[in-house]
Each structure stands twice: as structure tokens, then as C-alpha cells.
Amino acid sequence: MSEGLRPSQLDVRPESVLTPARGIPLDPAMAAALPDPSLLHLVSPKILTARARAASKERGAGARIGVLVTFGALFWAFIFGVLYRLLTYFRGVEEIGPFLAGKLLGLVLLSFVSILLLSNVITALSGFFLAKDLDMLVAAPLDWLKLYGAKLLETVVASSWMVVLMAVPMFAAYGLAYDGGLFFPVLTVLLFVPFLVIPAVVGSGTTLLLVNIFPARRTRDILSVIAVLAAGGVVVLFRLLRPEKLARPEGFRSLLDFVAVLRTPTSPLLPSEWLQKGVMGFLTDTLDVLPIYLLWTTGAAAVVLGALVHRRLYFTGFTKAQEGAQKWAKAGAFGTFGRTVLRPFGVLRRELLLKELRLFFRDSTQWSQLILLGVLVVVYVFNIKFLPLTGEGVTFFLRNIVPFLNLVLAGFVLASIAARFLFPGVSLEGRTLWLLRSSPMEMRALLWAKFWVGTAPLLLLAIGIVAVTDWLLQVTPFMFFVSVGTITLMTFALAGLAVGFGTLFPQFETENAAQIPTSFGGLLYMMTAVGVIGGVVILEARPVYLWLQARAFGGTAEPGDLVFGFVAAAALCIAATVVPIRVALARLERVER
């Protein structure tokens, strides 16, 4: 706003601000015409917000960027390395090499389409119907098409950036392995843009229809459950298809069968197939313009159709979106049962625990993730079951060392779950902290309530995973007790760390619980958790090795050697449980909100 003006030059009487400033010409065209701000103007707050975020000097911003860049570079290098190796191998296989490469690309792009569809449906719901700036935008005299364009652009960017990041090393590997040349990146961008737009239009159109049928907040509940079920379904389907068998032609009856499978298009009507054909056509010198044509015409037609549907249904949907969510919740049976079971904890702890449970189970975005979790556990156990740990060449040593290493994987899974569910606990209290702080309750009770409500299901899951995989692998009773005992203590440690770090690095202003684990504190938590998991496994490695050696080759292990490692690992876990919560308690008592 007029940088050159000094405050003394400003007339700050109420009557003067209602009068056009003298000496500054009025634009008559502007006064006469109907306002028509550009698309760029409508998205400018998002651009300015991104710029302000990038320039902000909040605590740990540098470290966070450093960690993200490092992890990102490692991730890219890993994807690129694996794919490049595979593709150079495919390139060396005559006849079927390009088919294999195309099939692989088609599978990956198909999974991209599923991810994009889901994420666009959910992003469109917040962007088009629940975003806080909508009141202002809808009340403004905007052209409906501009509003649609701006929100569609926001949706595309918000739901596609992750897919784009994953696609970069993948296309780089294809381009380099097949000598794509300098034009390859241009062609890829040309093909990839409509590939991203089509699911965005379909996703936002689906959301528009759903919101017109259900109220928006109910739609969000329904969508979060559908999304999670669909994501779980995709994972299970992918595992059941076992794409790795394509790399083992000996599983097919004849080579002809195998080639026939490779030649058959996976999904000829989906944009993933067109993109795959366009890319592979260019790379194998058989460029066909039909896929490019199909992608762009379908993309353009989708945008036009989407805009027409938007014009017809948006305002009705937006009005419906203002309607309240669920007005009441059934309290009866759950409340009575909870009160009875939790009676020994006393009134305060009981009510705290019940509040935590109610908030969790009444928020479908929270509990629905349990479904996804269940699916992942099934896939995890399924993969363990199919590990080639029976038959010739598999030793007693190997069969018992796998469940031990399984602790590391299970630890990572538990740490990620704790980061998602336990770490945000205190941050989510931000807006109600005044209530808790002004009551005579001790903050200790709050932290421990959060700890136990999170730890109990985590412990069930942890013991479930480890016990089932131990049983599938038929480990010795010693290894069974070691692994179950270790995972129990490790669960306490990971939960304690999550509650502790979540309190030390709170995000009181964030409304979206899903964003909290990606904060700087969340990253620190994950790194510390990995450190503790590593520490426990290293401390236990020696006693486990000594015992297995004694069992495999005869002899006995020294009890002293065994005890030290296990006791040290247990001490580490107990310290990691108690110390963070104590430190966090001191921090929470100093919070002034």
C-alpha cells in the first residue's frame, strides 16, 4: 500500500477515507466494468503464503530443510538407482525387454492414477467446500469459471506434488536407460500435465456430486473411510497380484503365454496406459501421437465438463456444506461401560481417558486410519509368511535371526504409528489448554492419560505382529520370549518418546492433525526413535548371537554375557519412556496460553 506516503500525509478521519483522494486520478473503466480479477490474482494468496513460509525463520527451519533435502535426495537416488539398473537389464533382453519396461511403467502409473484420484477427491472437499477463504471468495463478485479454475489449480497442486516428486527419478531413469535425449523431459512434461489434470477434474467432480447428496462434513467422514478402504484395497490387490512374478517367466506355461501377458494392455481406457504408450513409443523410436492426442483431448474435455457440472451444482453444494455435521453422538453403552471399567482410576483420570477415547472414535479421519493400519499389518504378515525360510539351505541360525531383525521393522512401523497418533496429542489440546490449565488438574495426569490411551492399542498391535510372525517362522521359545519382551519395552519407549517430543515441540495452531508429525519436532522424534530402536537391537545382538551360537554348535552361553545386554536394553527402554515425559511435563507446566 503506497510505500511513498508518510503517516503524516494520511488523512485518517472517518469522513476522509470515504472520499476519493485528491490528486490521484480515478480509472473510469474500472468503476464502470464488472470486476473480473484474473486467475493469478485468485491464487495469489497461496503463492504469497508459500513465499512467506519459505522466508520464515521459525525455529529449526534450516535443520528441517536440511533433513528433508537429504532424505529427499537419498530417496531419489534410491529410486533412480534401482530402476536404472533394472531398465538397463531389460534393455539387454531382446524382444521382450521393452515390453517389460513398458509393463512396469504402466503398473507404476496405474498406481499413480489411484493415488491421484483418492487424494484429489479429499483435497477438493477442503478446497472447494471447507476452506476458510471461501466465505470471502463466494461473497465477492467473481466469475464462476475463474473460481472453478482457481480452486481446480489449487487441488491439482495440493494433491499431485508428491506424485510429481516420485515421478522425477522414475522418468529420469527411463530417459537415461533408453537414451531419451534432450527432448525426452519436454515430452514427459507435455504428457504428464494432462495426466495430472484428468484425475483432479474427476476427483473434484466426484466430490461435488457427493456434497450435493450429503452434507460436506458428513461427506468428509464418508470419504475418509472410502479413501482408507480403497488405499488398503490397492495395497492388498497389489500384493495379491504379486507383480514380481512377471520377472520370473519360469512361472508361466510357455514363453508365448508370457509374451502374450506382456503385450496385453493393462488398462487401455485409462490415462496411465496412454502416458505409458507415449513415453515408451518415444524411447523405442516408435512414437505414436495418438496417446498425446488422447491425453490432451480427454484432459480438455474433462475440464470443460467439470466446469459445466460446477456451474450447475456448486452453489447448491456449497450451501449444503454450511450445514452442521453430526448433531449428536450415542453416549449410552460406551459411556456406561467406560465408566465401569475405568472406575478404579478415579474421576479425573477416568474422565480424561474417556475424553481421549471419545474424541478419537468420533473423528472419522482418525479412527479410519486404523483400517489402513490393519491392512498394512496383514500385508506385513503375508510377506513374512512367504519369505523363503524353509527348504534346503535355510539354517536354524537364519530362521531365528529373522525374527530378531523383524524387531527393527516392527519398531519402525510402531514409531510411525506413534508419530501419527501419539505425537500430535498435546498439540491438539492447544485450543483447549486454557480449560485444562485453569482447572485444578495436574498436567502429569493429562500426559499419562495420553500415554496410556495411545500405548494400549500400540502394545496389542506390537505383540500381535511379533507373536504371529514368530509363530509363522516357528522360532525357538527363547527367541519368542526375547522378541515379545523386547517389543513390549520398545513400545513403551516409542510411546513415551512420542508424547514427550510432541509436548516439547507442540504445534498448537495447526488444525490438521496429519500435518503435525511432519513438523521439525516430528522429524526429531523419528530420528530419536530410530536411535532407540537401533540401540536396543545393538545391545541385544551380542546375547542373542551367543545363545544362537551355543544352540547351533553345542555348548552353553555364559549367563553373565546374556544378562548384561538384555538388562542394558531394558534400561534404555525404561529411560526412553520416563525421561521424555518428565522433561515434557516441566515444559508443559511452563506453557503460557
Partner 1 sequence: MIELRQLTKRYGDFTAVNAIDLTVPRGELFGFLGPNGAGKTTTLRLIAGILQPTSGSVRIGGTDLHADPRTAKAKLGFIPDRPFIYEKLTGSEFLRFVAGLYGQDGPQVEHRGRELLALFDLDEWRDELVESYSHGMRQKLIIASAFIHRPEVIVVDEPHVGLDPKSMKILRELFREYVNRGHTIMMSTHTLEVAEAMCDRIGIIAGGVIAACGTMQDLRAGAAEGGSLEQIFLRMTGENAARELVDVLNV
- Residue 506: closest CA among 516, 493, 497, 496: 516
Least Å from the CB of residue 301 to partner 1: 27
- Alpha-carbon distance 77 to 71, whole Å? 10
Size of the site for partner 1 (CB under 8 A): 51
| From 140-148, 158-166, 281-289, 343-351, span contacting partner 1 (CB under 8 A) | 140-148
Question: If binding is defined by CB under 8 A, does position 143 make contact with partner 1?
Answer: yes
Least Å from the CB of residue 426 to partner 1: 21
Structure-block grid coordinates of residue 449 = 492419560
- Alpha-carbon distance 485 to 391, whole Å? 29
Based on CB atoms, which residue is closest to partner 1, 133 or 442? 133
- Residue 526: closest CA among 498, 560, 492: 498
- Contacting partner 1 (CB under 8 A), which of 24, 182, 256, 269? 24
Question: If binding is defined by CB under 8 A, does position 322 make contact with partner 1?
Answer: yes
Question: If binding is defined by CB under 8 A, does position 30 make contact with partner 1?
Answer: yes
Based on CB atoms, which residue is closest to partner 1, 141 or 554? 141
| From 48-56, 343-351, 362-370, 514-522, span contacting partner 1 (CB under 8 A) | 48-56
Long-range contacts formed by 567-574: CB under 8 A, 24+ apart = 568/539, 569/486, 569/489, 569/535, 569/536, 569/539, 569/540, 570/489, 572/493, 572/532, 572/535, 572/536, 572/539, 573/489, 573/490, 573/492, 573/493, 573/532, 573/536, 574/489, 574/492, 574/493
Based on CB atoms, which residue is closest to partner 1, 25 or 268? 25
Structure-block grid coordinates of residue 232 = 488398503
Least Å from the CB of residue 39 to partner 1: 12
Q: Which are the contacts of 12, defined by CB distance < 8 A and separation ≥ 6? A: none
Within 13 Å, how many C-alpha atoms sit on residue 88's CB side? 10
Question: If binding is defined by CB under 8 A, does position 136 make contact with partner 1?
Answer: yes
Question: If binding is defined by CB under 8 A, does position 363 make contact with partner 1?
Answer: no
- Alpha-carbon distance 227 to 513, whole Å? 17
Under 8 Å between Cβ of 427 and 507: yes
- Alpha-carbon distance 521 to 508, whole Å? 13
Based on CB atoms, which residue is closest to partner 1, 277 or 320? 320
Task: Say how many Å lie between the first and final Cα of the chain, rounded.
Answer: 33
Based on CB atoms, which residue is closest to partner 1, 46 or 551? 46
- Contacting partner 1 (CB under 8 A), which of 28, 92, 94, 132? 132
Touching partner 1, residues 300-319 (CB under 8 A): 315-316, 318-319
- Alpha-carbon distance 41 to 294, whole Å? 31
Least Å from the CB of residue 321 to partner 1: 10
Question: If binding is defined by CB under 8 A, does position 36 make contact with partner 1?
Answer: yes
Within 13 Å, how many C-alpha atoms sit on residue 410's CB side? 32
- Alpha-carbon distance 149 to 520, whole Å? 34
Least Å from the CB of residue 127 to partner 1: 14
Based on CB atoms, which residue is closest to partner 1, 3 or 95? 3
| From 14-22, 186-194, 227-235, 292-300, span contacting partner 1 (CB under 8 A) | 14-22
Least Å from the CB of residue 432 to partner 1: 17
Q: What's 519's DSSP letter?
A: S
Site string for partner 1, 393-412 (x = CB under 8 A): --------------------
- Contacting partner 1 (CB under 8 A), which of 92, 268, 324, 391? 324
Q: Is the dihedral of CA 125, 202, 103, 286 positive or negative?
A: negative
| From 2-10, 68-76, 546-554, 577-585, span contacting partner 1 (CB under 8 A) | 2-10
Based on CB atoms, which residue is closest to partner 1, 136 or 240? 136
Least Å from the CB of residue 58 to partner 1: 11
Question: If binding is defined by CB under 8 A, does position 325 make contact with partner 1?
Answer: no
Question: If binding is defined by CB under 8 A, does position 336 make contact with partner 1?
Answer: no
Question: If binding is defined by CB under 8 A, does position 474 make contact with partner 1?
Answer: no
Question: If binding is defined by CB under 8 A, does position 48 make contact with partner 1?
Answer: yes
Q: Which are the contacts of 492, defined by CB distance < 8 A and separation ≥ 6? A: 455, 459, 573, 574, 577
Q: Give whole-number Cα distances, 168 to 72, 275, 337, in Å.
A: 12, 14, 53
| From 34-42, 261-269, 466-474, 518-526, span contacting partner 1 (CB under 8 A) | 34-42
Question: If binding is defined by CB under 8 A, does position 141 make contact with partner 1?
Answer: yes
List the alpha helices (DSSP H) in 264-395.
Answer: 271-283, 289-321, 332-341, 346-362, 364-385
Structure-block grid coordinates of residue 243 = 507383480
Q: What's 516's DSSP letter?
A: G
List the alpha helices (DSSP H) in 422-519.
Answer: 425-428, 433-437, 443-473, 477-504
- Contacting partner 1 (CB under 8 A), which of 65, 73, 138, 341? 138
Question: If binding is defined by CB under 8 A, does position 213 make contact with partner 1?
Answer: no
Helix pair angle (183-213, 216-241), 10° resolution:
130
Least Å from the CB of residue 210 to partner 1: 18
Chain-centre distance of CA 391, in angstroms?
A: 38
Least Å from the CB of residue 330 to partner 1: 20
Based on CB atoms, which residue is closest to partner 1, 142 or 342? 142
Under 8 Å between Cβ of 469 and 377: no
Site string for partner 1, 52-81 (x = CB under 8 A): xx----------------------------
Based on CB atoms, which residue is closest to partner 1, 277 or 310? 310
Based on CB atoms, which residue is closest to partner 1, 144 or 361? 144
- Alpha-carbon distance 25 to 271, whole Å? 53
Based on CB atoms, which residue is closest to partner 1, 41 or 339? 41
Question: If binding is defined by CB under 8 A, does position 133 make contact with partner 1?
Answer: yes
Touching partner 1, residues 506-545 (CB under 8 A): none
The residue ranges that bind partner 1 (CB under 8 A) are 1-2, 5, 7, 10-18, 20-21, 24-27, 30, 33-37, 41-42, 44-45, 48-49, 52-53, 132-133, 135-143, 315-316, 318-319, 322-324
